[in-house]
Homo-oligomer: A and B are copies of this chain.
Amino acid sequence: MEKLNLNSLRVFATAARHGNFQRAAEMLHISNGAVSQRIKQLEADLGVVLFDRKPRGVALTEKGRTYYSAVQEALSILAVATSDLGQSSRQIRLHIGASSAAKWLMPRMSAFNARFPEISLETEIHDTMLERNLGRNEIALWPARAPVHNSAHHVQCLCELQLVAVCSPDFLRPDWPVDTQALLAFPLLQDAHRRWERLVERTGYDGGHSILNFGRSALALDAAIQSHGVAIAPTFMIEADVRARRLVEIWRNPDPSGEYFFLSWPKQYAHENPLRQTVTWILSEFGIDTAADT
């Protein structure tokens, strides 16, 4: 331990989490060779084989698994402490996906600032869900099939993701509203979730259909605003654009999506004020009342 390379442990944890050295290398912004070397060195130092090398990726050995859970816990403590360090108590850090930030948060920012001028909200955009625990004055908003429960956090479901199709008012034809079949004939704008593709598969529709892919939901929606076609997105993301008449809803998915939008915040600091106010505000924006505490 005295001479153990701690940076290797971060590499180990990342590789263990993804079960794949290459993916780990990407996450850490280093090369795959570096990961391979680090793990090899670490295993040599510990005198223990941590991974079984499989044809596709790697899997933790029994010892690797027990070690990983400890390493993960330690790194989480460090990450939280490091994140807390620079924070003033008036600063709230909000972890959120790019599209939710653009399409849900941004339209509400000025209202938030007007209501809580003393709180400075720092939004941090993530591609993947935050792996570590939340620190003081941190909040996370994320979509998922089921809540990731964790004894350190409160988790609150904000709404189910109900999918709707939207397009620009300029894009409207006289024959609206359309049925599902007619809908699929238009240029379809989708994001990495490939919701149109899956819908096409499910309905078994096989007329010609053109699909345009975008990296993020927000881009697909912007394309719809510019009359390039019909985008599909959860209701909370289009609300502001619909109210501003940049988009109109033309179809609503009758099936439940099975996905939900969650809010989580650290239990330990739940009573402290800038955090509690921000949580309460987000809940109220989703029509959830927390009348009990003032």
The residues of A with any CB-CB pair to B shorter than 8 Å are 1-7, 9-10, 28-29, 46-48, 63, 66-67, 70-71, 73-75, 77-86, 132
Counting chain B CB atoms within 10 Å of each CB, the highest count among A3, A29, A77 belongs to A77
Chain B: CB-nearest residue to A47: B86
Task: Give 25 pairs: A residue, B residue, CB < 8 Å, sorted on A.
Answer: A1-B78, A1-B82, A1-B83, A1-B132, A3-B29, A4-B78, A6-B6, A6-B10, A6-B78, A9-B78, A46-B82, A46-B86, A47-B86, A48-B86, A63-B85, A67-B81, A67-B85, A70-B78, A70-B81, A71-B78, A71-B81, A74-B74, A74-B77, A74-B78, A74-B81
Q: How many chain copies does the complex carry?
A: 2
Counting chain B CB atoms within 10 Å of each CB, the highest count among A28, A47, A79 belongs to A79
A200 to B73 Cα, complex, angstroms: 52
Which residues does chain B contribute within 8 Å of A77, judged by CB atoms? Answer: 70, 73-74, 77
Chain B: CB-nearest residue to A68: B81
Which residues does chain B contribute within 8 Å of A48, judged by CB atoms? Answer: 85-86
A1 to B10 Cα, complex, angstroms: 11
A283 to chain B, nearest CB (A): 28
| Extra inter-chain contacts (13) besides given A1-B82, A66-B81, A70-B77, CB under 8 Å | A1-B79, A6-B9, A6-B10, A46-B82, A47-B86, A63-B85, A66-B84, A67-B81, A70-B78, A73-B77, A74-B77, A74-B78, A74-B81
Which residues does chain B contribute within 8 Å of A4, judged by CB atoms? Answer: 78, 82
A199 to chain B, nearest CB (A): 37
For the complex of A and B, the 8 pairs showing the least CB-CB separation, nearest first, are A70-B81, A6-B6, A74-B74, A74-B77, A1-B82, A1-B79, A74-B78, A6-B7
Asked whether A80 lies within 8 Å of B75 as measured between CB atoms, the reply is no
